[in-house]
Amino acid sequence: MRLGRGKSAAALAVAVIAGALGGGPGPQAAALGRTAAAQDVAAAGSEDVAAGAQDVAAGAGAEGPEGGTGGPGGGTGEGTGPGEARAGQDATGEGTTTRTAVPSDAAGTGTGTGTGTEPGTTAPPPQPPRPGRRTAAPAPPAVWPRPQSIRAVRTSAVPVGDEAVLVTDHRDRPDPYALDALRALLRGAGARRITEVRDDAPLPAGGALVVRVGADTADLPGSASARAAHRRVPTLAAALRSLHAPARGALPPGGYRLAVGRLEGRDTVALAGAGPDGVFHGVQTLRGLVTGHRIAPAVVRDWPGTRVRGVTEGFYGTPWTREQRLAQLDFMGRTKQNRYLYASGDDPYRQARWREPYPGDQRAGFRALADRARRNHVTLAWAVAPGQAMCMSSDDDVRALDRKIDAMWALGVRAFQLQFQDVSYTEWHCSRDADAFGSGPEAAARAQARVANAVARHLAERHPGAAALSVMPTEYYQAGSTPYRGALARHLDDAVEVAWTGVGVVPRTITGRELAATRDAFGHPLVTMDNYPVNDYAPDRVLLGPYSGREPAVAAGSAALLSTAMQQPAASRIPLFTAADFAWNPRGYRPAESWQAAIAAAAAETAPGAAAPRERVTAVRALAANDASSVLGGQESAYLRPLIDAFWTARGTDPTGTTGTTGTPSAAGAGTAAPGESRGPAGVRGPAEADDPAGTHGSRGAASAGAGAQEGGGAPAGGAGAGPTDPADPTDPADPADPADPADPADPADPAAAADRLRAAFQVLRGVPRQLSGTALGDEVRPWSERLARYGAAGQSALDMLAAQDRGDGPAAWRAARALRHLRDEPHGRRATVGEGVLDPFLDRARKAYDTWVGPDGLDRDRADRGAGPDALTVRFAHPRPLGTVTVLAEPGTAGRVEAHVPGGGWQRLGTLAGSGWTEAGVEGHLGGHARVDAVRVAGAPVSAVRRVVPWCTDGPAARFTLARSEADAAIGGAPVHLTVHLASLRPGAVRGRLSVRTPEGFSVRVPGRSAVPRGTGVGVPVELSVRPGTRPGTYRIPLSFAGETRMVTVRAFPRTSGPDLARGARAASSGDETPRFPASAALDGEAGTRWSSPADDGAWWQMRLARPARLGALVLYWQDAYAAAYRVQVSADGRAWRTAALVRDGVGGREVVRMDARGVRYVRVQGERRATRFGYSLWSVRAYAVAG
């Protein structure tokens, strides 16, 4: 449904909070169903065929209509019985099976590897068969929606020649629209002449393809269909059996069986449908088996997992045109959806002017829609929202509503919904309603129930073929029971269904538990009207990510599952394709694979009757991947992120865009986690624990001023119970854009390769508008595609700019920088958001890198002195300084002079502006060797044409010299400690030098030889430091120097620790436990999933009593998310007199090693001083180690 106007702002707030516009990551759990049981080999009657049968039943395990976890009546329970192929085997148990598509991983992020530059995936190459084994049959083409059960058969593909024979049931002719679709399919596959015969007539002579189609009747032993199997001309049921199709079982309405193979010397297709829709659905699956002029041999047994599946046109904004709606209905037919609800948000004839008939052209439009809906086996539904434009106690108004419904029935509408979502509880359209119902939510519910019941009775009497009436209540998105919901449940007719949107207007997830609770609250069947991908609350976005976050139980437990489309119908079909896939087979739904298929289908629509060019498919994929995030989750531009990261890594810059690392990186800096580390269960040993149980990297020393660092190997960041992190929600969607992840990014050591791959990806973005030009999709998304194209061009300009500065080509870099600035200027017109959180940050970082390269802390013209007149821009110094070079950025073609002012000597000319706009003028040959200047200027040039003036003075340091951390702890005789020195050039060229160290006695320090620091970029120089055995414990200050600059590193040398964990066998206590579920003892119980948690008190503490006194050398703390920002470790011999052994002032959580050398310790206390979160303190586990020896 569309959003109520009063709810739009709330929905936008929800979207922002949930990260809809930011593309935050979020895990998406794909429903990976159990493998369906293979066809009974004995029933197949052919070992060879059965051996080649390939189980690719992605949706197996879905509940059938008679319970259990097999297909309906298929007898496939939890286990595998005789004749059933287990997962990983073919039907003979001999070979490993292959699935139609490579299954996505547990997060639903896709498994393919990309082609490198386009945002897509390809499957890994097949493995060669093992010698002596029969190879499995090739998988059939992927079919969407994903069938409940599909198997490839070991035989050749069935060709479609010039002729085909269509055999139909002489007693019960199949649905004419299904036959029309079948004929069109055969003609499209190459059949120019189709001969139709009845099943009681002999087949025409020749070898033409035979297509048998009809109703699926029981074929039990002794039935007419079973006896007919012995005739010379097989019946449909016998043909299915001979082609090894699964037994019919309790196939529900809409289900079908399909088999393709060779029968009695003829290529044969057999299709039997259950109910009026089954054959039509089977034809859509057959379409998926056709490739060119051949049909893949396969057997299918399939049925809808949701009874009513469809689309709502319910957005606010310009309604769709007739042609757009007709195209949508054709799409729904192809994707096996069967309900189209017209609920346009800006249609007055279904709202304020509901009494009035539609104008003639609109009535004709509804007739056309009804006809197209029938052809696609879709029920056309219409929603009316009389709201407060109706006197609900008036019989006349109710009759007027009935007349409007009769008029819509005459136009072909066959289902109806009453909408009351924007109704007030206190204001009525007429005073009689206040007298009849009163005021408040229960009064509104009684009034709405009266109208709905009257309409339901009218439909039952006048239009008994109508679908069940549904009501959109006023409280359609709230949770739980309310007085309004209780009253509506009591007064509403049992046959009426109630609509809801989930808990929230645009909920991130919808669970089966939420649906059950809401169904109980309303006491009626629920129609789930999901507000995705509707975008009227975020008109700058098109939401193209896959449908996610909905549990299979939502589909199974809803009377109907409808998705609300965007104002852009063709673009909507990408997410709606995935929603249809989910609704058809919720337990087999894999968002990543479905999304890729949706993208391919959208591209195919742009080239009807022919395969879409590969470039167009790539363009649609890029469009979708850069518009993939939403309230439901997903990550924007996921395929670009690794390419961008690889590019920056190859350039040697750190993630902040300021400096970088080369050689061995340091451990994490204070307050950060080291790259690649993970938070594992308590007790996982860190990388340094092999020779020092406490570890050495990132440890903390006594009376630490906060120089330590977090190290990996901590306990899980989540956990059961109260706290800042709730347990993972199983309905959380995976990142929907992960299916677009490319192959492994370029080699980080090869900057050129990384840049080439990123450049190619930007080239794809540039071509999106061109590739989609002249298509419905292209017309709808033009603002977004053009925005992508600008980003693509800007990205390539950024790469050109950085490449030019790398080779020292100032004019080319300035030319690219100007192009980048122009491309980033916001064009006039509709705002379109794409690639949010990815594309702009890349361009910002590139521009920052360029600004750094141009000059450190340069003064731009807005801060410079213009007092010399309109044709002079002057930069004045606080005092005279030695000058080396002046860099000037100006508009190309600007004429002017670069001059420096020498105190007592006046203005001295250094050079003229270059025509390129990039000028670097040195003092050599113009000023004396030791001349000092107090100003520089650009004279003779319009001030507005000069963009930047950067004087490079030579009296400051040649390089910026910083330390990732200035303090470290080292175990005497233990593993080395790794530090990183960050260097950045402060000159208009490379700075070369040697990092020197004055090493104290007892220490070993390793540094590289000479280092070269390029202009405008930073490098990280690794330093390895170790303390030799026999060195006295204590604090040492070690000076590091480069290019005349010196920095001090404070190293605390501690005795090595060894021996068993002293915490084993200790007794824990605390100042207080948050609840009995989180006792102090949980930090010592050795269980990975338990933890201690304190009340929210800065002064809370946890302590343990050791089994015996010890000389304590290290305490290892594994914090949950609720960690201490500041704390001290106190020790005691008797539990009464305490002393501080270590002080931590900047706790970072995770795994923290606190070093000390405390003798005679029996009691150890972690005394909190300042919490890092609003919660208390929480520890997964604690370990303690004694000083070695």
For residue 917, which phi and psi values (nearest 5 degrees)? 95, -15
Burial of 162 (0-12, 13-18, 19+ CB in 10 A): exposed
Tokens of 689: 């624990």
Side by side, the strands of the sheet bearing 256-263 are 54-55, 149-152, 298-302, 256-263, 266-273, 209-215, 163-168, 193-198
| Residue 266 CB neighbour total at 10 angstroms | 14
**CA distances (Å), 955 to each of 830, 931, 952, 987, 1178, in order?**
51, 12, 9, 11, 52
Q: CA neighbours within 13 Å on the CB side: how many for 1144?
A: 35
| Residues 529, 549: Cα–Cα separation, whole Å | 14
Residue of 105, 422, 806, 871 marked active site: 422
Residue with tokens 């070369």: 992
Give the list of residues 6+ apart from residue 318 with CB closer than 8 angstroms, or none.
Answer: 346, 567
Pairing of strands 1124-1132, 1178-1187: unpaired
Closest to 790 in 3D by CA, of 756, 748, 833? 833
Contacts of 731 (CB under 8 A, 6+ apart): 29, 509, 510, 511, 549, 550, 551
Across 666-728, the runs of DSSP E, i.e. the strands, are 699-700
Please indicate whether residue 330 is annotated as part of the active site: no
Asked if 722 and 683 touch (Cβ cutoff 8 Å), the reply is no
CB 983 within 8 Å of CB 953: no
Relative to beta strand 379-384, strand 339-342 is: parallel
Rounded to whole angstroms, the Cα distance separating 889 from 885 reads 13
- Per-residue burial over 507-519, b = 16 or more CB atoms within 10 Å of its CB, e = otherwise: bbbbbbebbeebb
* Nearest-angstrom CA–CA distance, 804 and 786: 27
Q: Is 773 helix (H, G, I), strand (E, B) or coil?
A: coil
SS3 309: strand
Name the nearest CA neighbour of 527 among 500, 488, 548, 552.
Answer: 500
The helix (run of H) or strand (run of E) holding residue 1167 is strand 1151-1171
Q: Are 1151 and 1022 in contact (CB under 8 A)?
A: no
The residues, any chain, with a CB within 8 Å of residue 810's CB and separated by 6 or more, are 804, 887, 918, 920
Determine the Cα–Cα distance for residues 378 and 407; give it in Å rounded to an integer.
Answer: 20
Q: How many residues does the chain have?
A: 1189
Residues whose CB is less than 8 angstroms from the CB of residue 103 and which lie 6 or more positions away in sequence, other chains included: 32, 58, 111, 590
> Is residue 345 a contact partner of residue 536, using CB atoms and an 8 Å limit?
yes
Nearest to 27 by CA among 637, 740, 735: 735
Active site residues: 422
